[in-house]
Amino acid sequence: LLKIVGGIFSLKTVLMIADNTISLLEYLHENHYIHRDIKPENFLMGMGDLSHIVYMVDYGLTMRYRDSNTLAHIKFREDRAVTGTARYLSLNGHYGIEQSRRDDLESLGYMFIYLLTGTLPWKKLTENNDQKDKVRKIAQKKLKTPIESFCRGIPEEFSIFLNYARNLMYEEKPNYSFLRKMFEDLFKREGFIKNYAYDWTFKSMIKTDVIEN
């Protein structure tokens, strides 16, 4: 879908996706699991009467982060293997820190920016064939690049979202309602109508040559 509309989504489409995906993560987290591989490829659109609904898929790296009875959180560790897709992986994930809810949100923040702009500062580094070197270089780039610099030209809510995720404590519960409302307020300020008319629902926006190729 991203490819057939030219590689980026409109602000309206990204905000509708954001509303859905934050809720999906909240549901997963409330059921005691973290995803650990948030990326565009792991979100799909429904079909037919369900074509407006975003679905989250691929739970191969999902893990339980707390006990379902006692709600005791798994212990903090700093010796973990890198798990997830490097382009969207959280900083903590890069440096071997045990992932928690905050890391799913940070990855989601990178995904929003990618969908809106078509790039991330470390995108070209993912073309490196040496996996370990690629992951190391991406981590360094993420650490050294101020969030505001790659959010320049887009609404500040996206940099607020990423900063919020990065500043959460290891066991802290994210305020999902705050994040949804922040994007909802932006949606209203822009005068958008939540009619689920995503970019790919308009024939005029579809690149037929991409589909043919």
Rounded distance between C-alpha atoms, residue 189 and residue 76, angstroms:
40
Q: Does 37 qualify as catalytic in the annotation? A: yes
Rounded distance between C-alpha atoms, residue 159 and residue 150, angstroms:
9
Rounded distance between C-alpha atoms, residue 161 and residue 35, angstroms:
18
Q: Can you read off the two tokens belonging to residue 50?
A: 């369900």
Rounded distance between C-alpha atoms, residue 20 and residue 206, angstroms:
23
Closest CA to 25 of 142, 109, 132, 134: 109
Closest CA to 83 of 54, 59, 66: 59
Options 19, 37, 67, 199, the catalytic residue: 37
SS percent in the chain: helix, strand, coil, step 5: 50, 5, 45
Indicate which residues carry an active-site annotation: 37
